[in-house]
């Protein structure tokens, strides 16, 4: 059975690359990883110059048209299921979705169905498109907002490089108990796993370097705060851990809840106001992995967070002691 291929990624050789070998130009101009390069070499129609099969040592001439052809793939281990999808952007290289809260991104042990991946695989099958599900990053199941899925290995590699270089702008909206120490600032505190619970993270001296930037969007009279946050690093549960660390745990976050807030007047007033952590991935800005064009994509606040905003606005004014920075962490005044 002959392999089927995706539309090629095309590069026109510039004068500066005249006489150079194909492998060097692909590395320097397209950032092809060694792993992908090996795969392209081993694919019958993976590398072509001016429509003819080419080898890595091929010497290029200015004006040559280089084509990379990747075989079409499918995620045969993921069950296709009709799940509503909110598609924010799509082309032949990537898919960006606005994920609802309560939907995990990828099947895991005990969760083989009902995930974003199941819905995307079904969507592609209905379109007659053959792609493997490749999420570039993930969101917690109960966090809503933007998720990028690459449609082929080159797009995934290029977006992963941007992620690793901190070249992808990620902006979140969170609603917290209490006030941060300043209206605008950063939390620079290492995050690691707790020995007694491998799923739970905490600020630990030997944790991985972790940086979160925050800015107050609205300080509610009741003592809650709406924060806009940007990630300087991408650790698991980073925002939830960092906000809890500075005394401002996310509203609705049972996993990182602070008993002091749960037993407060504000905590009692908000009991049941939202069924998950109040966190939304609202913006992603990055360069298209193939064309290089800048993309800036947004996702509006979902209904449960809009309802929470209304609730916070309506609650009566409550005295609040904001958290302030101290050596080794934060405390209250």
Are 216 and 231 in contact by the 8 Å Cβ rule? The answer is no
User: pLDDT per residue over 14-46, tens digit each?
Assistant: 999 999 999 999 989 888 888 888 888 888 888
Closest CA to 25 of 66, 69, 71: 66
Residue 97: pLDDT band with limits 50, 70, 90: very high
Report whether pLDDT(1) > 70: no
Q: Per-residue pLDDT tens for 149-186? A: 999 999 999 999 999 888 999 999 999 999 998 999 99
Cα separation of 160 and 168, whole Å? 10
So which residues are the catalytic ones?
A: 140
Quick check: 41 and 33 in contact, CB under 8 A?
no
Phi, psi of 196 (to 5 degrees): -80, -10
Residue written as token pair 């290289």: 93
Closest-CA residue to 127 (of 85, 158, 159, 88): 85
- DSSP annotation string for 32-82: --HHHHHHHHHSTTSEEETTEE--TTPBP-TT-EEEE--B----TTS----
Q: Where are the beta strands (DSSP E) in 151-303?
A: 169-177, 184-188, 191-194, 197-203, 211-219, 224-231, 279-287, 294-298
Query: What token pair was written down for 231?
Result: 């990630």
Among 8-12, 109-113, 214-218, 227-231, which is the least confidently predicted range? 109-113
Domains of the chain and any CATH numbers? 9-68 (3.10.290.10), 87-164 (3.30.2350.10), 169-332 (3.30.2350.10)
Cβ–Cβ under 8 Å, residues 47 and 37: no
């Amino acid at each position: 059975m002959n392999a089927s291929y995706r539309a090629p990624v095309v590069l026109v050789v510039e004068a500066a690359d005249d006489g150079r070998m194909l492998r060097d130009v692909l590395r320097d101009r397209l950032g092809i990883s060694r792993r992908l390069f090996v795969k392209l070499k081993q694919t019958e129609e993976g590398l072509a110059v001016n429509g003819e099969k080419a080898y890595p040592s091929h010497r290029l001439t200015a004006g040559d048209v280089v084509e990379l052809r990747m075989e079409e793939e499918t995620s045969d281990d993921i069950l296709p299921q009709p799940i509503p999808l909110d598609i924010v952007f799509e082309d032949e290289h990537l898919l960006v979705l606005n994920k609802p809260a309560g939907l995990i991104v990828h099947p895991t042990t005990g969760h083989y169905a009902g995930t974003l991946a199941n819905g995307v695989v079904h969507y592609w099958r209905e379109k007659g498109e053959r792609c493997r599900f490749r999420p570039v990053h993930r969101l917690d199941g109960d966090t809503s907002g933007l998720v990028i899925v690459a449609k082929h290995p080159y797009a995934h590699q290029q977006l992963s490089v941007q992620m690793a270089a901190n070249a992808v702008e990620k902006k979140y909206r969170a609603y917290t108990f209490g006030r941060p120490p300043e209206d605008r600032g950063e939390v620079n505190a290492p995050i690691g796993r707790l020995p007694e619970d491998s799923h739970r993270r905490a600020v630990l001296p030997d944790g991985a370097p972790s940086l979160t930037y925050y800015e107050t969007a609205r300080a509610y009279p009741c003592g809650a705060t709406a924060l806009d946050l940007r990630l300087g690093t991408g650790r698991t549960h980073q925002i939830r851990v960092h906000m809890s660390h500075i005394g401002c745990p996310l509203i609705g976050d049972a996993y990182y809840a602070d008993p002091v807030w749960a037993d407060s007047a504000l905590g009692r007033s908000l009991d049941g106001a939202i069924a998950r952590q109040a966190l939304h991935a609202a913006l992603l800005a990055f360069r298209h992995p193939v064309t290089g064009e800048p993309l800036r994509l947004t996702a509006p606040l979902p209904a449960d967070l809009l309802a929470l905003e209304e609730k916070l606005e309506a609650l009566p004014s409550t005295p609040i002691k904001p958290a302030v920075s101290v050596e080794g962490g934060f405390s209250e005044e």
